[in-house]
Structure 1
Amino acid sequence: MVVSLRDQGVLRDAFAEVSCFRTELYACLTSRRDSLFELCDALLCTDGPVRTLVDLALAPEHRRGHGALYGGLNEGRLDVSRLRRALAGMRLPRAADGRIVLAADVSPWLRPGANTCPDRTFCHTFGRGEGKHQMVPGWPYSIVAALETGRTSWTAVLDAVRLTPGANVAAVTAVQIREVVERLVAAGQWKPGDPEVLVVLDAGYDAPRIAHLLKDLPVEILGRLRFDRVMRRPTPPRVYDPKGGRPPKHGGEFVFGDAATWGTEQAWDRLHPRLTRRAAWIDYDGPLPIIDGTVIRLTVARLPSGGVNKPVWLWWSGTAATEADVDRCWQSFLRRFDLEHTFRLFKQTLGWTKPRLRSSEAADRWTWLVIAACAQLRLARPLATDLRRPWEKPVPPNRLTPARVRRGFRYLYTKAGSPAGAPKPSRPGPGRPLGSKNRYPATRHDVGRVLATGEAYTRPTHHKVGTKPRRAG
């Protein structure tokens, strides 16, 4: 096969990016760096999905024993701030207009039987069957990633934060998005005059509140709203009333479940929720704000499961939306589901939730190693060769999935090199004497729950969604 000079330049640049990131990753590991770096290489080069953590110690890329593997996760150190800056400085995917599109979502690392693990909280999961909502103990992680255009399973993960028990999810997400955007600005990914960064959220987030918290940043918030919400129209013009009285603060109601309040439009400008002093706004100083936005209604023509079609309601923090803005919003919202492919890659292929680690700090180190491995796969995307199975269809190089790029990473690994040092010869310790008992049992911890109000719960509760519209924001 003849490779053009342009293709040779692209491959050369891709190799340089992979080598540069690997060197920066090694510098981010401040303690037990050789063991942690080779663990990341073993994660990338192992054939097939990761079943158990100790199996990675058998990979040729991990030249140390299983004791060093667990020692690196339990006692190692990782400069997370530096790694976050390295991820923000990488080449990021952009929309057709050059805009950066970010998506935020929470994915749980379930640990239902780990009573000795601290910082667990009840995570919301879906069980088998219709409407089977369950609360299972585990470690929930908030993930922020940059989205690509078109149908793809690739995303650029930029940040991960473990939610602690009793954390305010909206406040934590707002701070996380703020820090990600500030790092992108510092890295030169966004400059004054560029299109504002679009942040896409699902229905589990309070999009108007997050837009209010981030109003000083060059971002736009696009979130899905529940089908039972009630919004308010703009304040009508004031009319002289001889009886006096306070002028109205809100306009008429816009009820998502009542088509008589809609009109004939598909997008409604300057709608806002009617806020009350409860939950997240109970300690707000001054009068409650009016958070205007654009509500967009999407009609699904056909569901894959054959269920009842319900309209999808989106809220965009911008106003005076044009037809192009509406199309851009709903197309960007559809790309949010690409983050689910990333979660599936983390859990089913890279084995993110397979290790039974006791320490939450060790779980954070393992999470960042998985993110670093995913970043290397994205950088190696132009270099990968399609090593397909006999039953798989041929795919162009630029359409390979992350799992198929991972199949050939071992051949790229030999060319990229490893900055890790060779292991020193050692002998295993004697271990616990035969017949001795453990005199220091592990401490057992209670399970907390993450609520928007910040209240601490010790047992899960289940809330059934009613059909009555919600009159408050």
Structure 2
Amino acid sequence: MSLEHQGVLRDAFAEVSRFRTELYACLTSRGDALFELCDALLCTDGPVRTLVDLALAPEHRRGHGALYGGLNQGRIDVARLRRALVSVPLPRAADGRIVLASDVSPWLRPDASTCADRAFCHTFGRGEGKHQLVPGWPYSIVAALEIGRTSWTAVLDAVRLRPGADVAAVTTDQIREVVERLVAAGQWKPGDPDVLVVLDAGYDAPRIAHLLTGLPVEILGRLRSDRVMGRPTPPLRHDRIGRPPKHGEEFVFGDPSTWGTGQAATVTDTRLYGKATAQAWDRLHPRLTRRAAWLDHEGPLPIIEGTVIRLVVEKLPSGGVTRPVRLWWSGTAATEADVDRCWQSFLRRFDIEHTFRLFKQTLGWTRPRLRSSEAADRWTWLVIAAYTQIRLARPLADDLRRPWEKPAEPNRLMPAPVRRGFRNLRTKTGSPAGAPKPSRPGPGRPPGSKNRHPATRHEVGRVLATGEAYSRPAHHKVGTKPRRTG
């Protein structure tokens, strides 16, 4: 083993130990129970099926009552934990740029009528047009992306969306706070490339770019195929009578005759998609109207100019029909290097889907049947803290593969195999949690007695256009007589 490799392992071990110490300091109430629950999540072999099974892990020295007590009555200093997440080493692009991705992942609770703060979550089915709205807790998650084909991301923040929340406004505030924490932690310094934020088609990228004006960020988002953009405002003509035009000629995505000559064009040979052709048009802006999000905007509506990139690939890995992808970048005067960087960064955005799948299928993020939304938030932060420790321990992990699994390439282990060997690392880092104190369980409810305090039932959160909460009319409620109309 070379001296350089030994230094890498030493630094990785120090980062894991430092983060575990900081995590324990963030657990301000019932910290021992919460920390051991996180360790049990890390060291349990195989996927997490039920929450109570974690109490049987050797790392969890307390009973199942302490497990649920920590989630229901514990407290986490979320602000300090967020600062700890941005203080660890973060992945960067080839030019040293930090690339962030934001997306919403639901924790579906369709039958949990006693759970408060549920909202309708948009889910995708396996068939054509199988989009459904299912009650649950949607979480907006921001993660830093790596370069190349990988399943790793660095999760930096998570916010539960309340019923009727404006996703664009919540995402804007979330990205602003993440960038400010990155600057405060020294991850971004003046002179560094701007942070690139990659969004999918469900976000209003021009609006988010306008709201984040003044921050060192660039916004890259996908647009619908039926959008119409406006070109720059033409110069003022003195021989023309009437109000000066505000928008230039139309740029219709579905009409090639309106495109004209592009700003830059690139052709790249890829292994998965074959030949990828990207073409960019500079200084295009959406035509805003005073409705929806811009209804209460003071003053004239802004002109938000950017670059539209049209990406066409030769084939898809699944063998499906290829369709053009249209991206909007908040920068202007794009070069060929900017065009390549944008569409390749957008393809890396889908790495966050691998993180969601790991959270749900391996770490059991959505497995617990918790009643309180605050307990769901604590469990979410414990899952993020556990995943961060797995990511930091990646250089220290050995390839503990199953007999039927293929050997992994050096430094190419996936998150699940790294978690498989975390129990060996935990014995070296130690645990700051104190030993449990012996106690006797309470008597509980006497057998045969009825529950005299049933849980409150909550309707799924719905908000009217006026911003007021929806309430069912009295004549629609169960147990009331219908109103007579004559």
Deviation at 1:128, TM superposition (A): 2.2
Deviation at 1:11, TM superposition (A): 1.2
Measure the CA separation in 2 of the matches of 1:194 and 1:329.
17
Deviation at 1:305, TM superposition (A): 4.1
Partner of residue 114, structure 1:
112
Partner of residue 4, structure 1:
2
Partner of residue 203, structure 2:
205
Task: Kindly provide the amino acid, as one letter, of the partner of residue 12 in structure 1.
Answer: R
**Mapped pair 1:140 → 2:127:** no
Match 1:262 to one of 236, 259, 282 = 259
**Mapped pair 1:276 → 2:273:** no
**Mapped pair 1:18 → 2:16:** yes
Aligned identity (percent) is 86
Partner of residue 405, structure 2:
392
Does the 8 A contact of 1:225 with 1:314 survive in 2?
A: yes
Does the 8 A contact of 1:295 with 1:313 survive in 2?
A: yes
Deviation at 1:7, TM superposition (A): 1.6
Partner of residue 44, structure 1:
42
User: TM-score by structure 1 length?
Assistant: 0.94
Does the 8 A contact of 1:279 with 1:452 survive in 2?
A: no
Structure 2 counterparts to residues 454-469 of structure 1, below 5 A: none
Q: Choose between structure 1 and 2 for higher RCO, CA contacts under 8 A separated by at least 6 residues.
A: 1
Task: Kindly provide the amino acid, as one letter, of the partner of residue 447 in structure 1.
Answer: V
Task: Kindly provide the amino acid, as one letter, of the partner of residue 85 in structure 2.
Answer: L
Deviation at 1:63, TM superposition (A): 0.3
The two structures, once aligned, show a CA RMSD in angstroms of 1.5
SS in 1 for 2:220: strand
Partner of residue 248, structure 1:
245
Partner of residue 285, structure 1:
298
**Mapped pair 1:448 → 2:461:** yes
Structure 2 counterparts to residues 316-355 of structure 1, below 5 A: 316-355=329-368
Does the 8 A contact of 1:11 with 1:383 survive in 2?
A: yes
Partner of residue 380, structure 2:
367
SS in 2 for 1:356: coil
Partner of residue 463, structure 1:
none
**Mapped pair 1:428 → 2:441:** yes
Deviation at 1:171, TM superposition (A): 0.4
Deviation at 1:57, TM superposition (A): 0.3
Deviation at 1:452, TM superposition (A): 9.9
Task: Kindly provide the amino acid, as one letter, of the partner of residue 135 in structure 2.
Answer: P
Partner of residue 413, structure 1:
426
Deviation at 1:292, TM superposition (A): 0.1
SS in 1 for 2:313: coil
Aligned residues: 456
Deviation at 1:309, TM superposition (A): 2.2
Query: Structure 1 pair 161/381, CA: closer, same or farther in 2 (3 Å)?
Result: same
Measure the CA separation in 2 of the matches of 1:211 and 1:432.
56
Does the 8 A contact of 1:198 with 1:221 survive in 2?
A: yes
Does the 8 A contact of 1:124 with 1:135 survive in 2?
A: yes
Deviation at 1:127, TM superposition (A): 1.3
Measure the CA separation in 1 of the matches of 2:464 and 2:35.
36
Measure the CA separation in 2 of the matches of 1:186 and 1:100.
15
Deviation at 1:429, TM superposition (A): 1.2
Deviations 1:418-464 (A, max 9, x none): 000000111111111011000111011111258999675689xxxxx
Measure the CA separation in 1 of the matches of 2:10 and 2:419.
19
Task: Kindly provide the amino acid, as one letter, of the partner of residue 175 in structure 1.
Answer: D
Partner of residue 467, structure 1:
none
Query: Structure 1 pair 369/453, CA: closer, same or farther in 2 (3 Å)?
Result: farther
Partner of residue 468, structure 1:
none
Measure the CA separation in 2 of the matches of 1:76 and 1:226.
44
SS in 1 for 2:286: coil
Deviation at 1:240, TM superposition (A): 2.6
Deviations 1:63-118 (A, max 9, x none): 00000000000000000000000001110000000000000000000000000000
Does the 8 A contact of 1:271 with 1:292 survive in 2?
A: yes
Partner of residue 269, structure 2:
none
Deviations 1:247-304 (A, max 9, x none): 1000111111122212353210000000000000000000000000000000132234
**Range with bigger deviation, 265-274 or 73-82:** 265-274
